[in-house]
Structure 1
Amino acid sequence: MEILKMLSAPLIGAVIGYFTNYIAVKMLFFPRHEVRVFGKVLPFTPGAIPKGKPRLAKAVGNVVGNNLLTKDDIKAKLLGGEIEHRVTEVITAELKNKLKDEICKLTHCEEDVYEGGKVKLSEMLSRQIVDEISASQLPEIVVEKANESIKEKIGSSMISKLISEERIHSLTAPLVGKIRGMIDREGMGCVQPVIESKLTDGGDKTGLELLELVKVDEKRLAEMIGKVYRKTVDKYVDKLFEKLNLAAMVENKINDMPIDEMERLVITVMNKELSMIVNLGALIGFVLGLFNLIIK
């Protein structure tokens, strides 16, 4: 009985410390809305997480927009590797098949009828290349590589819990239509100067000779398309990042996240640490109770 009396103070201190810290942890999330009494907002309402949600959303948005996905990351994945080779190869094959019949018709024209051979060929090639790029999987590939870049950089950090794979896809999915729309609207202005420059390299060749050259020289056609591809990626990735405020998109997505979902995410990430805080409260309460007993 005497021992029980001796331990009562430390045990009571442990219980008080445990529940004090438990309540403090819960106050991170509750109440979820401000509480007013006589028109005055009570202190600590809403909880720290609901109150700081806009700041958290802005901070995560800035991290994603400025660090996790940059135009240099996308360019590095799209240029100079397997992706560039694959896209160029597919477009070259499709373009060669589509141009074959038309080039054959043009090469049977009389030279005096076909005075504008270079101009005609430039326009035809440019239009076909733009159409093929637009119809290709390039926009989807850009988005796929953007997703990969984000997932690689966030890894298993806390941000990966706030921005799930589904949220990443919901952020980047609209890019497919934006990229394809930009190619359709502005593709000719980007492609045709490259084609004209390449045809000018043909020197004094006549229109028919240039047509014949393109018809038989698949390697030259592939080089031309490769240059167009690189210029297209370089130009449109820059323009896309100018128009797309990724930081704001992420910020809006997190602000739209229900607070109970955010609570689950924070607890999932920090469950161990939060439990340690609660248990530490019990330990401190026990030690203080024991210390008080010793003093007496």
Structure 2
Amino acid sequence: MNVIGVFLFMIVIGALIGAVTNHFAIKMLFRPYRAHYIFGKRVPFTPGLIPKRREELARQMGQMVVNHLLTTEGIRKRLASDAVKNQAVQLGERLLSHASQSRVTVEEALTKIGVDNAAQKADQFVNEWTNEKLSAYLSKYENAPLKDLVPADAQEKLNDKLPMVSEYILHRAVHYFESDEGKDRLGNMINDFLKERGMLGSMVQMFLGNSSLVDRVQPELLKFLKNGETARLLTDLLENEWDKLKEYSFKEADDKWNLTSLIINLKERLMTSFSLAPFFEKTAGSYVSMIEQDVIDRLPELAGRLLDGAGRHLDDVLKQLHLEDIVKEQVDNFPVERLEEMVLSISKREFKMITYLGGLLGGIIGALQAVFVVLI
């Protein structure tokens, strides 16, 4: 073989060795994917470097993400930036605009999330809650005097209204006894009175006559009802009775007038009149639209507060998330085949250049070896 043939042969052999070696070295980063065994002994260089070091790689990546990529300071600065605040405000405006246009009723919205018959349940809850609170209140103050149960300002207002009550009663009495019905009733009362007096009543009826006696009594009765002293007398009577009533314990008043049933019946009527059903029949958008503009005006302030609050509690949130464990788990579960495909798709050209470089270096080494062979 002549000198040129030796040179070419050594260069080609060296280039092939260098290129093939680099090619297999790149492949052995990922392959084989799993360890292979012969007679219970693991074959050397199986699995490939990355599959073999996957656990360590996952741990290192988790630490890198937590310590260098998703750091609390970096996230906190990002949250405090004007760009994020503006994005939060724009997002809030879009959500409000979408919600205000919703035609779904509150009842339907709750049904979608699994809450059926919301209006009925709400009324039942309020009714049971008020019954519980009312029963507890009445039981607690069972022996307390009524004056301790009625607010002081209400007692004062009631005392101030007693003269008006007296005037109203007397005014209605005058109006009644001036009417034909009242006059007839007064005549019947006089007739019954005289009948109870036996012979004396019969003699009075015989001499005066019932009609004549009514005509005489009615003006005097009306004069009595219109007299100022009568109004003061009735006011004093009402005040005395009110003062006595205030000293009654609730239990005593309940025994006399069945106040508990009265209060419960009143509460039941109020609950029937003020059912929560209309609230659930309206659309969610109608409620949102009522506060939409006010919320939009305050969105920059609200967004700032929310982001500041998130920044202050960021350390705790990240600790609760366990990002390092999440990254490690994801890397552990990531298919090696997919990882190889991703790396090769990104660095395919560079890997080819490494293979070519190996061939070039092998060829150069082969040429040097040929020189040494020829010289020797």
TM-score normalized by the length of structure 1: 0.49
TM-score normalized by the length of structure 2: 0.40
